[in-house]
Structure 1
Amino acid sequence: MSDLISIIVPCYNEEPSLPYFYEEVCKVFSSMEQKYGVNFELLFVNDGSRDQTLSVIKRYAGSDPRVKYISFSRNFGKEGAIIAGLTHARGDYVAMMDADLQDPPSLLDEMYTAIKEEDYDCVGTRRVDRKGEPPIRSFFARCFYKLINQISKTEIVDGARDFRLMTRQMTDAILDMPEYNRFSKGIFGWVGFRTKWLEYENVERVAGDTKWSFWKLFLYSLDGIIAFSTAPLSIASVLGIICLFISVVIILIIIAKTLIWGDPVAGYPSMMCVIFFLGGLQLFSIGILGQYLAKTYLETKRRPVYIIKETNC
């Protein structure tokens, strides 16, 4: 029996990109169908788009039986789109890619070959450069990967994309993690399995604008740190020990200056500095605890990660 490969494509306001993407991916499908005798399922997940993305997808679905779609009741974010696609994908192998062609569909052939012939469970992709990105964004991205790999036991590869092809076994393992606060890059690493990485130079969007602002990426990075490391929780203890040590040293200096040199102790300015310093540390520590508490609170409410409005699956 022929293998079925499911391709999950999260979409949010991707109307300008979809014609280019569909044309390109169909070329790859035709080539691989002839070469390997495989079948394809193209599963679009419309994440509450405000343009005509859903209409374009429905048009493709009407003429191509390989095209399936899921449309959310509102925008739930890319993580919700990914887990929805994984849940409804029927393939023996499951891939994810963006609709903006920053994930080259031509790599699917090499991915499939690596899994079938080299006994890998997953073939992922990573960018070897960040050409076209603002320098400040690239700098903070590199800092994030260095930081999270230092404080987390789960390896997250620098430059890794969500674009990957996985076996059904690995897909099911990911589905067994019903987390509300999801960070897929960390989840892919946490479940393990043998992974091969394909490197390629950064490709700019074929059309449209990116949906990831610097602020959204910053918040997403915080989600990743909180989801896969408890190291920030120890910051409060470390800061407390440091403050205690500094305070003891300062007390000894003040006593020495007063007894030996008769230097009077400064009052109001020094007291205000100490109050603001300790107050800032306390608020910072409480803020860290609050982030973990907020994530725990959201998990305990057990709200669905997404809500489907319509689908042809």
Structure 2
Amino acid sequence: MVDCCIIIPCFNEANRLDIETFKTFQKQNNAFNLLFANDGSTDNTFAVLNSLNEELPNVSILNFETNSGKAETIRKAVLQTNKKYNYIGYLDADLSTSLSEISRLLNIAKTKNKTFVLGSRVKVLGASIKRKFYRHFFGRMVATFIDSLILKLDIYDTQCGAKIIKRDLALSIFKEPFKTKWLFDVELLARTKKLHGKAYCKSNIIEVPLNQWHDTKDTRISFIDFLKTPFALLKLYSNYAK
């Protein structure tokens, strides 16, 4: 039974989509529908996705003609998901988080009865977590600021691009456009806390260390994005900190 929809935002991914990995995963797993959301790509991405859709039964395509960025693309895709799904998740098209890991997160959500499961890029013995030093260093500073002054939920990694969310919760926290683009993951947590309170978050959100996560060479986060981060943090603080 298909009870989870995994959204994969795509912008000019024709040359780096690992089609064979997606095919193998879908042929071995019947609990997922992969929903590829084409974010106004200007290359051959849409054609590549259509060929995958024709070959596999549990693959769907959303085509947005205008590029609006990862956060808005995922938001629009969430709001268009079918009611049959119990869970909605998302991951990056480059598979920095593997499909097997997203499957593990879903299993944890179901067995532990959690409404929000976060992948976490924690370097522990036995895990293969490969991140560029400057991204890890900057990410830790941002995460520390976010949790200390905004969320206050003791979350280590708020920005990992792999999450599983119960559909009714997802519909409520994705309903409105985000205040920021790069830090929308933080907004999801902040909105959950604002809607349901800290006690709910402590009981229903779980952070799961990933066994594998690899930075890709073709990262879509630029140095300019880093420079804009302080302004994004101020927006989050003014809208969600109490």
TM-score normalised by the shorter chain: which range applies? 0.7 to 0.9
Which residue does the alignment assign to 2:185? 185
Which residue does the alignment assign to 2:197? none
**1 CA distance for matches of 2:148 and 2:171?**
28
Which residue does the alignment assign to 2:140? 142
Percent identity over the alignment is: 22
Cα shift at 1:70: 1.9
**2 CA distance for matches of 1:56 and 1:154?**
42
* 2:9 is the alignment partner of 1:10: yes
Cα shift at 1:147: 2.0
When residues 169 and 86 of structure 1 are mapped into structure 2, their CA distance, relative to the original with a 3 A threshold, is same
Contact 1:153/1:229 (CA < 8 Å) preserved in 2?
A: no
* 2:96 is the alignment partner of 1:119: no
When residues 180 and 204 of structure 1 are mapped into structure 2, their CA distance, relative to the original with a 3 A threshold, is closer
Runs of 4+ in 1 over 6 A off after TM superposition: none
After superposition, where does 1:14-163 map in structure 2 within 5 Å? 14-18=13-17, 20=18, 22-33=19-30, 38=31, 40-90=32-82, 91-129=85-123, 131-133=130-132, 135-153=133-151, 155=153, 157-160=155-158, 161-163=160-162
**2 CA distance for matches of 1:56 and 1:152?**
41
Cα shift at 1:132: 4.1
Please tell me the residue identity of whatever aligns with 2:61: Y
Contact 1:127/1:159 (CA < 8 Å) preserved in 2?
A: yes
Cα shift at 1:81: 1.1
Segment of structure 1 superposing worse, 111-120 or 64-73: 64-73
Contact 1:94/1:166 (CA < 8 Å) preserved in 2?
A: yes
**2 CA distance for matches of 1:115 and 1:140?**
29
Gaps of 5+ in 1: 232-313
When residues 59 and 28 of structure 1 are mapped into structure 2, their CA distance, relative to the original with a 3 A threshold, is closer
Which residue does the alignment assign to 1:195? 205
Cα shift at 1:65: 3.5
Partner SS state of residue 29, structure 2? helix
Deviations along 1:181-207, one digit per CA (max 9) or x if unpaired, are: 2442222212044122221343133xx
Cα shift at 1:6: 0.7
Cα shift at 1:8: 0.2
Contact 1:4/1:92 (CA < 8 Å) preserved in 2?
A: yes
Contact 2:78/2:88 (CA < 8 Å) preserved in 1?
A: yes
**2 CA distance for matches of 1:226 and 1:68?**
37
Cα shift at 1:3: 4.2
Segment of structure 1 superposing worse, 156-165 or 7-16: 156-165
**Number of corresponding residues:** 218
Which residue does the alignment assign to 2:196? none
Which residue does the alignment assign to 2:237? 229
When residues 180 and 116 of structure 1 are mapped into structure 2, their CA distance, relative to the original with a 3 A threshold, is closer
Deviations along 1:14-49, one digit per CA (max 9) or x if unpaired, are: 11222x2x432343333333xxxx3x3221111122
**1 CA distance for matches of 2:61 and 2:74?**
13
When residues 227 and 118 of structure 1 are mapped into structure 2, their CA distance, relative to the original with a 3 A threshold, is same
Contact 2:26/2:56 (CA < 8 Å) preserved in 1?
A: no
Deviations along 1:227-263, one digit per CA (max 9) or x if unpaired, are: 32139xxxxxxxxxxxxxxxxxxxxxxxxxxxxxxxx
Gaps of 5+ in 2: 124-128, 194-200
**1 CA distance for matches of 2:140 and 2:121?**
12
Please tell me the residue identity of whatever aligns with 1:173: S
Q: Of Structure 1 and Structure 2, which has the larger fraction of its residues in helix?
A: 1
**2 CA distance for matches of 1:57 and 1:3?**
20
When residues 78 and 12 of structure 1 are mapped into structure 2, their CA distance, relative to the original with a 3 A threshold, is same
Cα shift at 1:126: 1.2
Contact 2:39/2:69 (CA < 8 Å) preserved in 1?
A: yes
Query: Over aligned residue pairs, what C-alpha RMSD do you find?
Result: 2.4
TM-score (ref. length: structure 2): 0.79
Partner SS state of residue 10, structure 1? strand
